[in-house]
Amino acid sequence: MFAKLIEVAQLGQLECEAYLLEYDRRFETSHSFGIVVADPPFLSEECLCKVAQTITFLAQDKVILCTGAVMEELALKLLNVRPCGFAPRHNRNLANEFLCYTNYDCTIVAEENKLYNSRHTKREGKVNI
């Protein structure tokens, strides 16, 4: 997701700065950001709750959350995010379905998903739109 944001920014389609923050003391910050993109490392309630606390601390407004479809109800409860039409793909064909959730109308990632689907053939009988 971060790589895509940088690409979009270089094309002049993104009017903000992008920062990559990992869980590491070197990245401690007291800043807040107009948009926060998060990809929790585990599909667990405990992990999503802690990530949601961090997002709440960092986000001024917009949130993009990439996580498993099984976390949809909890993500809505904690962050008021809903699926945005972009389905992240993994090189290793993970068993769990992953979705991208936002708390706003995010047309960039939804359009990217439509472009991807139009260029690729169906995998295992289904295409994520």
Euclidean distance between CA atoms 75 and 79, whole angstroms: 6
**pLDDT above 60 (res 128):** no
State the amino acid at position 55 in one-letter form.
I
Q: Are 68 and 98 in contact (CB under 8 A)?
A: yes
For the entire predicted model, the pTM comes to 0.65
| Selected residue with higher pLDDT from 107 and 129 | 107
